[in-house]
Amino acid sequence: MNVHSGVDAAHAVHHDDHGHGHHEQSFISKYIFSMDHKTIGKQFLITGMVWAIIGGLFSVLFRLQLGYPDQSFPILETFFGNWAKGGQIQPEFYYGLVTMHGTVLVFFVLTAGLSGTFANLLIPLQIGARDMASPFLNMLSYWFFFIAGIVMLASIFVHTGPASGGWTMYPPLSALRQAGDGQKIGTDLWLISMALFIVSSLLGGLNYISTILNMRTKGMSMTRLPLPIWAMFFTAVLGVLSFPVLLSGAILLLFDRNLGTSFYLSDIVINGEILPNEGGSAILYQHLFWFLGHPEVYIILLPAMGMVSEILSVNARKPIFGYMAMLGSLFAIAILAFLVWAHHMFVTGLNPFLGSVFVLLTLLIAVPSAIKVFNWLTTLWRGNIRFTPATLFAIGFVSLFISGGLTGIFLGNSTIDIHLHDTMFVVAHFHIVMGVASFFGMFAGVYHWFPKMFGRYLNNTLGYMHFWVTMIGAYLIFWPMHYQGLAGIPRRYLDKSGWVSFNQFGELDKMITIVSIIVFAVQLMFVFNFFYSIFKGRKVTTPNPWGANTLEWTTKINPGHGNWEGEIPEVHRWPYDYSKDGRDFIPQTEPIGANESKH
Amino acid sequence: MQTFFIVAILALGFLITFQIAKASEYVAVLRGYEKARKQTNKINGFMLLAFLIIGLIGVYYCNEKLKGKILGEPASDHGVLVDRMLYVTLLITFIVFVITQVALFWFSYKYQESDKRKAFYFAHSNKLELIWTVIPAITLTILVGFGIFYWFKITGDAPKNAMQVEVVGKQFGWEFRYPGRDKILGKKYFKNVNPAANNPVGQIWDDPANHDDIFVEQEMHLVVNKPVKLVIGAKDVIHDVGLAHFRMKMDAVPGTPTTMWFTPTYTTKQMKEKTGNPDFVYELSCDQMCGKGHWSMRGTIVVETQEEFDAWLASKKPQYLVANPDKDPSAPKADTVKQVAAVIK
């Protein structure tokens, strides 16, 4: 239905390609205000990497404080001045760092950096389209993200410092300028930045949905879509339905801060000042926030799941086990993602009956998650596995997803959550299951599709080192943290020496800090590998280096704008015919043979 | 200087790693790329197996080393339920953890690339899917059932004989109010808050129930084996009453009072003996990010016998009399009145 319009567009682009040499695109329209989905994907990736370094650096700084609360680091004072007076990180600075670390990594890296990169790169290439449904909106989506980043970055440099109310930005703390320095202009900038970011994410999401629904090539029925595309589709739907709710929450908060409204404020006496606000509800914000906040977890996880499914299947030389079950479980997770938000609020005074409903719905998510895990395991079973760095990261993803998913069963159960809520256990849980696991999905994606992006390979040896240090480091950092949580140590405590009950983990905190510095250094090595390999990496010599079935490998090694020269290929089968009938792989473009067995 | 050395060493480390990586590429080219790749594949397959074994030993070692540092026996009746639920969940998840992780790494090792074998084309099996849908579903039903049962027990109504204490969080400390002899907490209104006039929680003095209410800061006293219902509020931002030893927690929200109840089962003195720590004290931590002093928002709790508690409470003067010294029947001296008046001015 849509192929033909695609072909027309293709002709235009086709001419462009031939025009190589005499009317080349200018640098600006080719690399900066580009409308080519592949370039936009790379822009998201590189911007995401810059933010990941910044966010990671923040975590190293506050880990220094946590590991060595009594020690002075004069160098910090050199760089941060009053924020680190006497070489010690000051509480306001600490909370600014924690808040920015969370915001940057959750939204800028694991949402924009992950979805933005791979949805842009893979959707048109894997469904067989010349570009996104609206290349212009797509470009706009990147630039809104870029501006959001600039505003956030600016907030770090204002006199009173960045927002410091935690990445969840709960009012009244975030609504009251009197509450602290971080609640002054920094919080306004945070909210504005988030609003811009949400616009970016909506523009991107709408584009992904319409592209997947309308622009698939001939023969590419919905059940022949590779799993990353399905994952991106559900991710986009989640984002489009839930981000507007956060936007409304943020706007109401801006009103409360600047226009004297009382949406979230009531009965407040702060620093001896009695505020006039009455009748608002502080908990309302938490409902609005977590209505996005929980789907957000899956916005981060689903693309990683999709890519891991693809990468495991390709490198195990085996079809993904239970394609329909994988799809069904993605769908179930997407639906349930909207129905579990209040499990973040078990101890806010929520009606216990409502709490019990959310326990049921939350633990229900474990069922589709378990299906996915068992299907991945069965995909590996009796495969013939090539351990490329991408495969290793995919295996690491499954391992982390199991570990972090299981601790979710503790937290989703309100009875246990009474004790563990807002402790280090929560920090350990979500860092493993959505932080590190999604990063692993992202790394797997970068290693796997780097040849498509740049026509070169990443350095393998550095890739293996990157994987092993990160994998071992992630477990060393976050596994023992569960014990701190079981001991009841609350999150965001920058020094525990004043407490009798929480002061027994000094050595452990030191160990975690050292490991996290090493892991951070190895990420820098990856960044170096990335940029070095763009220019100097080993060249790809065959269009299909991994022997994969999907359409992106039917393009030239370095596809131009428009992706395919000539006609877009037609699809005749699902993408997972590996090791079928004695053949290593059968591309999607190959018609079903007369004697071929059914799957 | 030290910083310079650290930076220099890091840079050197980077350089060396990078050179090794580059050299390995050349070696791969020299030896034949395919051959080098197969060798690396074997190494990584072995590493995955080693990771599994060392990892499981590490899990055991970590537990041995740290299990003594987490909280001991819960000190409340509800805490027993929370811990029981925790350990049941731990048992089930640990079994699943070991099975799935072993399968993951063992399969990865066992089925690594080999020229002798072809991958097995196995695309789906409804029977298997059914098995691993139904088994997790049943397991989770059990966990949900127990969880909700305990949850309603813990969050249900407090017993009639429960004592009440009001807990108020503020940046960055805790305030407590006891209802006094009439066992009723008097009404309050936030616009009445005026610490200078000795009315820190905003009590309405016209309400006679307020006349015997007792106000204390930072240290709460509770009676062992007597249910207590905490009426929780906050003055400025959201705080959280975290009672790790009792396994209890509830947010303190400005404008929306919350409650929780439990029964402390050991006095502070008994806990000192149990833990063998003469410095043991029940601590009240703020568990909800509340500003720059969040990490230091510490309160303490003394659990004692009824007699000790009564004696402690009797030693306190109702806040009404502190704020209105002229109403004090124990006839204060004229100069104290003047002092208070001066403070108010």
Tell me: do B72 and B148 sit in the same domain: yes
**A103 close to B (CB below 8 A):** no
Top residue of B108, B125, B259, B298 to mutate, by most chain A CBs within 10 Å, is: B108
Number of domains in chain A: 1
Q: B240 CA to chain A: closest CA distance, Å?
A: 9
Name the closest residue on chain B to residue A419, using Cα atoms.
B247
Q: What pLDDT was estimated at residue B13?
A: 86
Task: For residue B40, give its domain range.
Answer: 22-113+124-155
The reply to whether B255 falls in a domain is yes
The fraction of chain A above a pLDDT of 70, given in percent, is 96
Locate tokens 């790329």: which residue? B33
Measured from the Cβ of residue B259, the count of other Cβ atoms closer than 10 Å reads 16
Q: What pLDDT was estimated at residue A147?
A: 97
CB proximity under 8 Å: A 517-546 to B: 521, 524-525, 528-529, 538
**A265 close to B (CB below 8 A):** yes
* Residue in B293, B20, B343 with CA at minimum distance from that of residue B174: B293
Q: Are A445 and A393 in contact (CB under 8 A)?
A: no
Task: Please give the Cα distance from A200 to A95 (Å, whole number).
Answer: 27
The reply to whether B12 falls in a domain is no
CA dihedral (A387, A391, A397, A398) in degrees, to 10, reads -80
In single-letter form, the type of residue at position A75 comes to: I
Q: What pLDDT was estimated at residue A404?
A: 96
Low-confidence ranges of chain B (pLDDT < 50): 345
Tell me: do B149 and B184 sit in the same domain: no
Cα B309 from chain centroid? 27
Maximum Cα interatomic distance, chain B, rounded to a whole number of Å: 103
Own/partner pairs, B201-206, CB within 8 angstroms, 24+ separation: B201/B166, B201/B168, B201/B175, B201/B177, B202/A269, B203/B319, B203/B320, B205/B320, B205/B323, B205/B324
In single-letter form, the type of residue at position B65 comes to: K
Q: For position A565, which CATH number holds?
A: 1.20.210.10
In single-letter form, the type of residue at position A386 comes to: R
Q: Are A133 and A214 in contact (CB under 8 A)?
A: yes
Tell me: do B94 and B150 sit in the same domain: yes
Locate tokens 């080693």: which residue? B50
Q: What pLDDT was estimated at residue A17?
A: 44
Tell me the three-class secondary structure of A408-469, residue by residue. HHHHCCHHHHHHHCCEHHHHHHHHHHHHHHHHHHHHHHHHHHHHHHHCECCCHHHHHHHHHH
**CB-CB: which of B140, B281, B298 is closest to A363?**
B140
Cβ–Cβ pairs < 8 A, chains A and B: 372
Q: What pLDDT was estimated at residue A10?
A: 43
Tell me: do B80 and B136 sit in the same domain: yes
**B19 close to A (CB below 8 A):** no
* Residue in B233, B261, B239, B257 with CA at minimum distance from that of residue B77: B261
Q: Residues of B with CB below 8 A from A381's CB?
A: 107, 111, 120, 122
- The secondary structure of residue B194, as a DSSP letter, is B
Task: Examine the pLDDT at A195 and tell me if it is beyond 50.
Answer: yes
The reply to whether B6 falls in a domain is no
Read off the pLDDT of residues A222-249 as tens digits, 9 standing for 90 and up. Answer: 999 999 999 999 999 999 999 999 999 9
Q: What pLDDT was estimated at residue A153?
A: 95
Q: B159 CA to chain A: closest CA distance, Å?
A: 17
Tell me: do B69 and B176 sit in the same domain: no
CA dihedral (A462, A465, A470, A471) in degrees, to 10, reads 130
Task: Please give the Cα distance from A415 to A417 (Å, whole number).
Answer: 5
The reply to whether B7 falls in a domain is no
**B46 close to A (CB below 8 A):** no
The reply to whether B320 falls in a domain is yes
H helices then E strands: how many in chain B?
A: 8, 10
Q: What pLDDT was estimated at residue B344?
A: 52
Q: B331 CA to chain A: closest CA distance, Å?
A: 31
Read off the pLDDT of residues B57-100 as tens digits, 9 standing for 90 and up. Answer: 999 999 999 998 887 889 999 999 999 999 999 999 999 999 99
The reply to whether A229 falls in a domain is yes
Q: What pLDDT was estimated at residue B338?
A: 52
Task: For residue A541, give its domain range.
Answer: 33-585
Read off the pLDDT of residues A419-451 as tens digits, 9 standing for 90 and up. Answer: 999 999 999 999 999 999 999 999 999 999 999
β-partners of residue B258 are B232
**B116 close to A (CB below 8 A):** no
Specify the DSSP element, H or E, that contains A205: helix A185-214
**Mean pLDDT of the region A349-376:** 95
Q: What pLDDT was estimated at residue B341?
A: 52
**B18 close to A (CB below 8 A):** yes
The reply to whether B266 falls in a domain is yes
Read off the pLDDT of residues A98-113 as tens digits, 9 standing for 90 and up. Answer: 999 999 999 999 999 9
Q: What pLDDT was estimated at residue A5?
A: 43
Q: What pLDDT was estimated at residue A376?
A: 97
First to last CA, chain B: 58
B292/A486 CB distance under 8 A: no
**A488 close to B (CB below 8 A):** yes
Provide the 3-class DSSP secondary structure of residue A156.
helix
Name the closest residue on chain A to residue B245, using Cα atoms.
A488
B151/A272 CB distance under 8 A: no
Q: Residues of A with CB below 8 A from B257's CB?
A: 349
Q: What pLDDT was estimated at residue A560?
A: 86
Locate tokens 């069922």: which residue? A367
The reply to whether A252 falls in a domain is yes
Number of domains in chain B: 2
CB proximity under 8 Å: A 340-399 to B: 347-349, 352, 355-356, 359-360, 363-364, 366-367, 370-371, 373-378, 380-387, 392, 395, 398-399
Contacts of A289 (CB under 8 A, 6+ apart): A168, A169, A170, A246, A249
Contacts of A548 (CB under 8 A, 6+ apart): A314, A585
Read off the pLDDT of residues B141-199 as tens digits, 9 standing for 90 and up. Answer: 999 999 999 999 999 999 999 999 999 999 999 999 999 889 999 999 999 999 999 99
Task: Examine the pLDDT at A209 and tell me if it is beyond 90.
Answer: yes
Task: Please give the Cα distance from A61 to A65 (Å, whole number).
Answer: 7
B14/A525 CB distance under 8 A: yes
**Mean pLDDT of the region A116-142:** 95
Task: Examine the pLDDT at A379 and tell me if it is beyond 70.
Answer: yes
B111/A180 CB distance under 8 A: no
Q: What pLDDT was estimated at residue A272?
A: 87
CB proximity under 8 Å: A 407-436 to B: 407, 409-410, 413-416, 418-419, 421-423
B33-66 and B2-31 are packed helices; what angle lies between their axes, rounded to 10 degrees?
A: 140
The reply to whether A590 falls in a domain is no
The reply to whether A25 falls in a domain is no
Task: Examine the pLDDT at A24 and tell me if it is beyond 80.
Answer: no
**B324 close to A (CB below 8 A):** no
ipTM of the shown complex? 0.92
The reply to whether B43 falls in a domain is yes
Name the closest residue on chain A to residue B281, using Cα atoms.
A500
Read off the pLDDT of residues A466-486 as tens digits, 9 standing for 90 and up. Answer: 999 999 999 999 999 999 999
Task: Please give the Cα distance from B53 to B106 (Å, whole number).
Answer: 10
**CB-CB: which of B89, B146, B254 is closest to A409?**
B89
A173/B237 CB distance under 8 A: yes
**CB-count burial class (<10 Å; 0-12, 13-18, 19+) for A581:** exposed
Between A6 and A402, the higher pLDDT residue = A402
Tell me: do B217 and B323 sit in the same domain: yes
Tell me: do B187 and B317 sit in the same domain: yes
Read off the pLDDT of residues A267-310 as tens digits, 9 standing for 90 and up. Answer: 999 988 999 999 999 999 999 999 999 999 999 999 999 999 99
The reply to whether A23 falls in a domain is no
Tell me: do B28 and B135 sit in the same domain: yes
Tell me: do B133 and B61 sit in the same domain: yes
> ∠ CA A17-A21-A26 to the nearest 5 degrees?
85
Q: Are A490 and A166 in contact (CB under 8 A)?
A: no
**Mean pLDDT of the region A71-78:** 89
β-partners of residue B251 are B240
**CB-CB: which of B101, B152, B298 is closest to A352?**
B152
